Structure 1
C-alpha cells in the first residue's frame, strides 16, 4: 500500500493537451494514437503478468495492481468478499461521479457532482510526470473541466470517463481503424477530484528542490470544516505554467457564474466576529468584517519534510482565513471540525496584526498570481511575514488598499504605493469621505489597536490662533507609554487639518533615547504631503536618529500645515518628585536636543512652515542654542513666536540667543526668555529690543541688568509696538525706563496692553503713581506689582489711587510695609477707589501684627468699597518667612456683613481658626458671596461644624474650600491618630500598670471610627448645602428676567479675564456655569467628570475618591495663580496656573488608613476635637513626614 501511495504522488507528463476550437497539436496527436493502438497488448500483457506473478508479489499488492487496471475490469461487478473488495465498492459509490448518483461535492452543500463527466466542457488535459523511482512507472492523467479538476491513474481511465477526449482525437486523426465506445470509469481510476468552486488557492510550489509542481488547496467535503491539498508534478516548468494559468482561468469563470457562494459556515462567522470584537473592541461606524479563505505557504522544507507533507495529500487539515477588521488584520487557523460544531467549541488559533503596521504587500495581478506576501512590523519589534494565497486575491488587494486609505486618509498616494507592491495594477485614485478632523479619530484608534494600547485623551482647541489646534491631554498622576505617544505621532502625520499641535504638560520622556531602525514602512517621512523631498544626506541622518527625532521631523515636515508646536513641560518635570529624580541637566539637554534638532534641519533647508515654537521647561545644550541662534539669522527663516522660559540658559547661551534674535526683528511677535539661569549683557538686549518691529508679547523677566542710566527701551521703537503682554519682572528699572514706559502707556498703541508684570523691579510708590496716571482711570489692564517698594512715595501712590488712576485688576502681593501708617493710607485710598474690580493683597503685612487701627481700616474697606468683586487678602507663611496680619485680623471680617459687592473672597493662611466665630458670622450675614476660599487656616472638626451651621443661613455661596487635598488628608489623619492615643495619655501611670493593652485598644478603635464618621458627615453636609445653593441659583435664574443679561456678563471677555487672573474657585465657578451652555471638543474615550467628584490623582485607586465633594477641597482648576503657594510653599508667588499636587498624601490613604509612615512617636499631642474647644488658639506641634515642606510656622509648646 505504501508503494501505491507513492505511486499516487508520482506524476508523469510528456505533453499538455488542450481543446482549442479547431486546432490540435501534432505531438499530442501522436501520443494519443500510440496510446490507443497499444491498449490491447498492454492489457493482455498485464493480465499474463498478473497470472504469473512471482513469489515476491503478495496478495495485497496484486489486488492494488488489479484495482488500477483498465476499464474492462470495471465492467464486471466484483464479487470479492474481501476487505479490499468492499473498500473498492464503497469508494466506487462515493467518489465516482460518472457512475450512479453522487454525494455533495467538497466545500458546499450544493449538489454539483451529479453532472456526469461526459456532459462537462473539457478545458485542458494531459499526463503528469511519472515517478522514476518506481518500477514500471505509469503516468497519471489530469483533466480540467468547467466544473472540476480530476486526476486519473492513466490516460485510458481519463478517456473512459471523458468520451470527449476520444472524439476530439478522432476528429484530427487521418484514419481510425477502430473506436472504443465510451464507458464508465472505475472508482479506483479517479485518484483525485477537486470541484472548482471549492478551490481555495492554486499556485506553483515554492522550494529549493527545483520541482515543477502545482499546489492546490480546496475545502473539505461537506459537512467537514477543513482544507485538503494536493501536489501536481510536471516534467517541464512551461507545462506547469500553462496548467496553472488554465486552472486560474477556470476558477475565475466559475466564480463569475456563482459569485454569491460562501464557503464559510455560520458557526465560524460567529466565532470570527467574536474574536474581532474581543481584540479591537467596539468601534462606532465600523464596516462589516471581511473574511477570505486563504492557504498558508511554508518555505524552507527539506526533501524529507516535503515527502512527509505530500503523504497527507487529499486528507483533511486545518483551514486558514484572512479577516480584515475595522483596524486590524487577523489570520485565523481553524483546526479540523464540523460545520455543525457550536461556535464556542471550535478550536481556533488567531494572530492579529495592525493594518497600519503593514510595511509591505507584494502581489501580482499581471500574471494572475494568487500568491501574495504581507509584512507587518510594530515599533521596536521584529517583522512578521505572511505568505498566503487565495483565489480571491483581487478582492483582498482591493479591500486592503481601501482599508489602508480609510485608516490613513491624509497620507499621500506615493506612500501607499511604497507599501503595496502590486505588479500590473495602476495606482488607484481612492478618495475618502467623511474624514472629520483629517481622519484623526479613526487613525488614532487604528494605531492604538495595532499597538495594543489605550487611546490617549485629547481635545481640539479653537480659542487661540493658529486654529484649530490638537492638544494631547496629560494623564493625572501617570505618563503615557512610548507606544501610546507613537500612536499619536503617527496618527497626526500628514494631517493637514490642524494648524497647531500642543503636547503641553505631557511627558514625552518615554520616547527619548530609543532607536527603531527600520528600512520599510513609516519610520522616516522622506516626502511631504505636497511632494517635497528631503536630501539623501538628510535621510541618512534621520535613519540613525532616535525615534523621537524622527517623529518630530515627520510632524513638522509631512503635513505642511503645522504653524505652531507647543512643547511646554514635556520632559516629565511637572511635579517636585520628578524634578528631584531628573535633576541631571546633561540628560535633560540630550532629551531636548531630540526635540529641537530635527526642526532646525528643516528650517535651514526651507522645508518647514512652522513659525511658532514653545520649549518652556526644556533645558537646552549650549550647542543647540548656538545652532538655533545661527538659524535665526538666516534670511529665509521667519519666526513669529519663540517661547524659551526655564530652559536653563546660562550667560553665554542667553547672550548668544539674544544676538540671534536680531535676525527676527521684522517677524517676531511673541518672545519669552524668562526664568533662565543666566543674564545677558545689557548692550545686547538693548540693541536687539531697538530692532524689533512687530512684538506683541515680551517676557524677558530676569534676562539682564541695567548697568547704566540709559533706558532699556528706545522711545521710538517702543512707540511702534502694539503690546498685549509685557513682563519685566526681576529687572531693576531705572527712572529713564519708567519714563519711557509711562510715555508709552499714554499712547494709542498701548490700548491693547492687557497684562503688565513688574514684579520685584524695585519700583517705588512714586514710580507706580507715575505709571497709574499715565494709563488713566479704570484702564482695562491687569497690573502685577508684587514685591516692590510702595513705602517710598506712598502719598503719591495713594493720591493717584484715590482719584481712580489705577487698572481694573491690581495685584500687590508680598509687600511688607515698614510703617503701619503707610498700610492704612493705602487701604483708605483703595476704599474710595472706583476703578479696581479685581484686587489681590496676598502676603501683604507689616513688621508687627496688625493693630486694632489697621484691622478697623480693613473692616471699613470691606464694608464701604462697592467696586471690588474679586478680593484676595490671604496671608503667607513658609519655613523661613511669613506674611500675615496676625490673630486679630479675623475681627476685620466683620465688615463682610455689610458688603454688597464682593463675589469671590480668598482668605488663606490668616489663622482664622483662632476666632472662627468672626468668619462664621460674616458668612451668615453676607448675601453676595459666590465663592469662599479659606484654606490653610488649620480648621478642626469643631470649626467645620460651626462654619456649616452658619452656612445654612447663606444661600449664595456655591463654591467653598476649607482644605487643599494634602491638607485635608493630614487633618483627618492627625485627628484620628490623636483619637487613638488620647485615652492612654490621660490615664495615670499607676493605673496604666494594672491595665492590659487589649482593653485600651478596644476602647480607642471605636473612637477613631466614630471620628472618621463625623468627618464624613461634615463633608456630606457641606456638599449638600453647596449643591442646594447651586440648584437654587440655576432655578431662580430661569425665572429671573435679569438672568439672561447676568449670564451674558459672566460669559463676557472681562469676566473671563478676571476669573483667569484671579484663579481658584472663581475660575472654577466661571467654568462651571459656562459649561452649562458650552461643550468643548473631547476625545471619544474621555468622559466628563461629575461636578461632585474630585478627579483622582490617577492609578488604581481612582474609583475610591467619589465620596469627597470637590467643594470641600480645592481641585486643580481651583487654585489661584496669584496665591497658589501662599500657604503651602516656600515661593512667595508662583506663576503656575495649577498647583503641584503632593503625591505623598491622598484622600484614599487619609480616609482608609490610620498608619503613620516614617513618623517618630510623639508624647505632646493634645486632643482638641471635642465640643468644648470652639474658640481659642490651640498651640501644638504636629508630626511631619520626612522631606515634607511645612505648611506654616507652628508655635511649639514651651516656647518663650
Structure 2
C-alpha cells in the first residue's frame, strides 16, 4: 500500500490531462442538507488560470525547498525528495515549472473557512484559515495564503472566483512563500476522530485527533468556531472526507502493532484469535465548567489521549501507544501500567452520537460506582456492534443484553451474523468464565455437578469450593448471573453452600435493570425491589427468567447464628424474593426447599401468604430444622390446605414442641397426594395414641417415610406394620427409623409385614441404625435368613454383646437371597473377631450370590474403636470366589501391609468388584504399590481411592522417625539403643514388623545414629512424595483403562509403565538408597559426618522379618 501511495504522490509531476472529478460522498443522514445551508461552496474544479513561467530554477538551493517542506510530517521521504528532483532537459524543466504545488495536499477543495486560533493571550484573538481537500485538512495563516495555493478560494481583497495571478518571481520562491504559511496539514487517513468539545460555552470547539502510526505520533487540531451550525457543517464535511480517504487504505493497523497488542492480551489471559478486534480511539477527558475561559482553558478542556481499543474475549482494553520507536516485540512495564481494562459483562450502556465520532461506554462493577468512559473514534458504530456481538457470545441465552444500546438507527439496524458454537448446558461454562473474569475471581474454585437421575432433572448442584473455604460474594454473584436465562436445568440446588456473604451485600450504587423485567420484557412492578439485598434480587431474577425451572434448594445455606443488627434472627430473604412472583404467576417455581434455615417472623409471614394463595400451586413444604414451633406449623398446615391437590412433600422435621395426635392427624389428613413425609425429631404428647394411625397412612401415596429420632411407641409400630402389610404400601421405597428405640422384635415385625406371599424381593431401603437391636437380635437374624425384609438394609452401629450373635448374622447372610445392599459398618464386637468368625465371614463372601454392595467399615474415635481385627485378612480371601459383589467399603479396619497384600491378591482374581473404598487403613507406600500392581491385572475395577489420608499419615510418620533418630544421636546412647531406633526407622519405611534380636555388631565409628539436616529431610520427603505421585498416576491410568473397556471405547497402553513399575515395585525398601544419596550429595561438614552404611544393613535384614499373624494355607 505504501508503494501505491508513493506512485500517487509522484503523479503530480506529470501534466494534468483533465481536472479531478468531484468526490462523491456516500449518502448519510448527516449530509442530507440543502446547498444553501453550507458555507460558500468552493469551485468544483480548478479554473484554467495561466501562471507565469519561472524565470530561473536555482538547483543549488534545492535544500532550502526541502527544508520548507519538512513541516509536512505526513509526507514520505520519497515524496519529499520528489520535490527536489529535476531533469537537465528543457522539456522536463517546462513540466516542472508548470507543476501545481497543491497536488501534494489534494487537488480538490471540499470546504474552507475562517477559525479562531488559540494563543497565550486571550484578548488578542487570531484567525486562521482552514481548507479541507480530499486528502488533507490544512490550516493557513490567512485566506490570502490559502488562495495562493488553491485559486478556487477567493482572497480577502477580491471576493470571487476570478483566477489570481501569482507575482512570485521563481518556483522556489513560490514554494517557500506558500508552505511557510501552512501552520499544519493533517492527512485524512490518519484522522482518528472528529468531535465537539462540550465545555458548556456558546463558542463551539471542534477537535480533530489524528495519529501517524509509522512515526508513532499522536496529536490533535482544534477549530474554534463562532456558531454551532458552522461546527456541525465542518464535522460533517471532515467525517465524510475521512471515510473516503480511509476506504483507499487497505491496512488500517500495521502488523507489528497487531502482534504487540496480541501479546499484551496474552499476558492478560484474554486473547482469542476469533475474538480479537483493534480500533484506534481517543479517550476524552471532559471537565465542564462555567464562566469565561482562556486559551489555556480551552486547551485543557480539549485534552485527549489517543490509544488502541482492543476487544478481547472477556474484556475491553485501552492500550496506550507504544512510545518506543524500536521494532522490538517487548513491552515495558510502564506502558502496561497505563493500560485500562473493563469487563464486557459489566457493560451497562453504549451511547453513540450521530453528529460526530464521540461515543460513551458505561460500566457498572459490583459494589462500585458506574464508570463512564468517554471515547471518540471514526469506527464508533463498528465498535458498538462488536461489543454487542461479544456480549451475545458470552451470554448466548440472554434474550436481551443487560445494557442500553443507544445508537443511531442506521447502526442499530446492522447485525454482525452470530457464529456461536453450541456447548453443553446452554453454554453455562462460557458464561460463568466470563463473569469470573469480569469480577476478577478464580474460576477454578467454583465446582458444580449436574444430576440427570433425580426428580425434576437435570439438577444443577453447586458444590463447595475446591480449596475448602466458603465462596465470596463475587463468586456467588458470578454463579447466579451465569444461571440467569439458562433453561437447561429444571432444578437448582445451593444446598449446604454458605450464601451469607451475598445475603449481607447491598449494592447502593445501583441495582441491575434486567431484574425489573420478566423474560418477555414486561415490567414486574414489584415495589421495593431495589431495596432488597443482592441475594434476594438474584433469586428473584433466577426464578423470573427461566420457564423450565421448577425447584430451588436452599437448605442449610444461612448459618443459624446469624443475627440482624437488633439482635433478632436475620431473615433469609428467599421468601421475600419468591412469594410475590408465585402470587402473580410470574414463575414456574413451585418447590422451595428451606430445610435448615432459621426463619424469622417476616419469613413466616411470607410463607403463610404464599401457602394460602392457590395460584402459587406449591408442590412441597420443606421447612425442617427451621426453628418453627408447633403452633407455627399448625398455622402453615391450615393455610396450605387450599393447595391439597398439588402438595406432594411435607418436611416438618425438628419442630419445637409436642404435637397433639388428634390435631396433627386432622391437619395432615387433608393432604391426599403426599409422596414423601419427613417427621424426623417430631414428638407427640403423652398418651398411648399412635402418631400416625393406619387410616391416615392409607390415605397417602407414600414413597418415602422418615421417622428417625422420633420415639415410636408400641401402637405406632403396630400402625406402621399394618400399613406395610397392605397393598397400599407397595409403592413405598424408603423407610427411615434411625434412633427410634426399636428392638430386634420390632424390626422383624416390619420385615415380615412387608413380605408378600410370593416371597418376591421387596425393592425397598430400610435404615434402622443405632437402635436397640440387641434385644431380639436372634429373631431378627432368623427373619433375614428366611428371606423376609427389604432389598437394601442399613444396620449401622449394631452392638453385639456376644461374638456368636455376630456369627448368627453372618450365617443368615449365607442363605439370604433377597438382600442386594447391606451396611453393617461400625459394628461393635466385645473383642477382635476370632478365627471361627473370620472363617464364617470368608465363607459368606464365597457363597453369597445376591449381595452387590457391602459396608463392613470400622470406626476410629478418641474414646472408642470398632474393628474386626487382623483376622479380617482371612475373611477377605473369600472374595476371590465371589461373583456378585460390586461395591465394597472396608475403611478404618487397620489393614496395614498384610491386609493390603491380601486385598491385592483378591483384586488379581476377582472380576466382579467395581468399587473399593479402603481409606484410613494405615496404607503406606509399599502397601499402596502392591494394590496398584494388582490393579494392573484387574480389568473390572472402576474406582479405588488415592489414599490421601493414609499418604499424609505415612509421610508424617517417616518425618517423626527421622526426628527421633536425630534426637537419639547422643554419645550417651548405647549401641543397642541406637540399633533399636534404627530398627524402628526401618520398620516405618518398609511398613513391616520387627523381628527380635538381630544381633548385628557395628564398629565404634558407627555407634551413633547419623544426623540429618533440614535439607536432607526435605529431600527425602520430596523423593517419597514423588514416588507416591508415580503410583497415583499408574492407578488412574489403569482405572481409565477399565472405564474404556466397560464403555467399549478403544484404549491404547502408554509406554514407560514397565520402567515405572520396576523402579517402585520394591516399595520403600529403596529408602536407604534415598538417604544414602542425600548424604552423598551433601557437602560433608564437621557437624554432620557421613555415617549411613548401617541403614542399608538394617533394612536388608528387616526385609526377612516374620509376620505377626500367620496366614493359613488354603
* 1:631 paired residue number: 610
How far apart, CA to CA, are the structure 1 residues paired with 2:974 and 2:54?
118
Where 1:116 maps in the other structure, the secondary structure is helix
* 1:1067 paired residue number: none
Q: Deviations over 1:83-140 (max 9, x none)?
A: xx99787325765999x996499xxxxxx99763998443333333488969997743
Where 1:360 maps in the other structure, the secondary structure is strand
Shift in Å, 1:355: 1.6
How far apart, CA to CA, are the structure 2 residues paired with 1:454 and 1:834?
52
1:420 aligns with 2:412: no
Shift in alpha-carbon separation, 1:922–1:297, aligned structure 2, 3 A:
closer
* 1:878 paired residue number: 861
Shift in Å, 1:526: 0.5
How far apart, CA to CA, are the structure 2 residues paired with 1:120 and 1:1010?
80
Where 1:486 maps in the other structure, the secondary structure is helix
Whether the 8 Å CA contact 2:645–2:671 is kept in 1: the answer is: yes
| Structure 1 unaligned blocks of 5 or more | 1-18, 33-70, 106-111, 574-581, 1035-1070, 1080-1089, 1094-1106, 1113-1166, 1178-1200
* 1:830 paired residue number: 813
Where 1:636 maps in the other structure, the secondary structure is helix
How far apart, CA to CA, are the structure 2 residues paired with 1:637 and 1:204?
56
How far apart, CA to CA, are the structure 1 residues paired with 2:507 and 2:1005?
63
* 1:350 paired residue number: 339
1:692 aligned residue (659, 671, 675): 671
How far apart, CA to CA, are the structure 2 residues paired with 1:887 and 1:219?
83
Shift in alpha-carbon separation, 1:937–1:409, aligned structure 2, 3 A:
closer
* 1:202 paired residue number: 194
Q: Which moved more, 1:809-818 or 1:340-349?
A: 340-349
* 1:526 paired residue number: 516
| Structure 2 unaligned blocks of 5 or more | 1-30, 44-49, 83-98, 169-173, 979-1003, 1058-1062, 1069-1098
Shift in Å, 1:229: 1.6
Shift in alpha-carbon separation, 1:883–1:333, aligned structure 2, 3 A:
closer
1:599 aligns with 2:578: yes
How far apart, CA to CA, are the structure 1 residues paired with 2:665 and 2:606?
22
Shift in alpha-carbon separation, 1:296–1:1072, aligned structure 2, 3 A:
same
1:737 aligns with 2:716: yes
* 1:728 paired residue number: 707
Q: How does 1:334-345 map to 2 (within 5 A)?
A: 334=321, 338=325, 344=331
1:270 aligns with 2:259: yes
Shift in Å, 1:525: 0.8
Where 1:286 maps in the other structure, the secondary structure is coil
How far apart, CA to CA, are the structure 2 residues paired with 1:644 and 1:300?
58
Shift in Å, 1:616: 4.3
How far apart, CA to CA, are the structure 1 residues paired with 2:815 and 2:302?
103
Q: Deviations over 1:557-579 (max 9, x none)?
A: 233442222334545x8xxxxxx
1:190 aligns with 2:196: no
1:773 aligns with 2:748: no
Shift in Å, 1:414: 7.8
Where 2:309 maps in the other structure, the secondary structure is strand
TM-score scaled to structure 2, two decimals? 0.72
Whether the 8 Å CA contact 1:130–1:139 is kept in 2: the answer is: yes
Shift in alpha-carbon separation, 1:354–1:781, aligned structure 2, 3 A:
same
How far apart, CA to CA, are the structure 2 residues paired with 1:143 and 1:1014?
78
Shift in Å, 1:167: 11
Whether the 8 Å CA contact 1:523–1:550 is kept in 2: the answer is: no
Whether the 8 Å CA contact 2:924–2:951 is kept in 1: the answer is: no
Shift in alpha-carbon separation, 1:400–1:751, aligned structure 2, 3 A:
same
Where 2:308 maps in the other structure, the secondary structure is strand
Q: How does 1:710-729 map to 2 (within 5 A)?
A: 710-713=689-692, 715-719=694-698, 721-729=700-708
Q: Deviations over 1:523-573 (max 9, x none)?
A: 66111211342325233xxx23332232222222233442222334545x8
How far apart, CA to CA, are the structure 1 residues paired with 2:693 and 2:349?
62
* 2:1107 paired residue number: 1174
Whether the 8 Å CA contact 2:151–2:164 is kept in 1: the answer is: no
How far apart, CA to CA, are the structure 1 residues paired with 2:69 and 2:937?
99
Shift in alpha-carbon separation, 1:880–1:688, aligned structure 2, 3 A:
farther
Whether the 8 Å CA contact 1:692–1:717 is kept in 2: the answer is: no
Whether the 8 Å CA contact 1:837–1:867 is kept in 2: the answer is: yes
Q: Deviations over 1:1103-1148 (max 9, x none)?
A: xxxx999x99xxxxxxxxxxxxxxxxxxxxxxxxxxxxxxxxxxxx
1:535 aligns with 2:525: yes
Whether the 8 Å CA contact 2:101–2:149 is kept in 1: the answer is: no
How far apart, CA to CA, are the structure 2 residues paired with 1:751 and 1:559?
36
Whether the 8 Å CA contact 1:654–1:679 is kept in 2: the answer is: no
RMSD over aligned CA atoms reads 5.7
Shift in Å, 1:973: 2.9
How far apart, CA to CA, are the structure 1 residues paired with 2:868 and 2:301?
96
Whether the 8 Å CA contact 1:231–1:313 is kept in 2: the answer is: no
Where 1:525 maps in the other structure, the secondary structure is helix
Whether the 8 Å CA contact 2:966–2:1010 is kept in 1: the answer is: no
Q: How does 1:54-133 map to 2 (within 5 A)?
A: 90-91=67-68, 95=72, 103=80, 116=103, 120-129=107-116
* 2:132 paired residue number: 144
Where 1:164 maps in the other structure, the secondary structure is coil
Where 1:780 maps in the other structure, the secondary structure is strand
Whether the 8 Å CA contact 1:292–1:322 is kept in 2: the answer is: yes
Shift in alpha-carbon separation, 1:135–1:93, aligned structure 2, 3 A:
same
Higher normalized contact order (CA 8 Å, seq sep 6+, divided by chain length): 1
**How many pairs align?**
970
* 2:539 paired residue number: 552
How far apart, CA to CA, are the structure 2 residues paired with 1:563 and 1:784?
29
1:475 aligns with 2:495: no
Shift in alpha-carbon separation, 1:93–1:932, aligned structure 2, 3 A:
closer
1:320 aligns with 2:299: no
Shift in Å, 1:594: 3.9
Where 2:464 maps in the other structure, the secondary structure is coil
1:783 aligned residue (758, 761, 766): 766
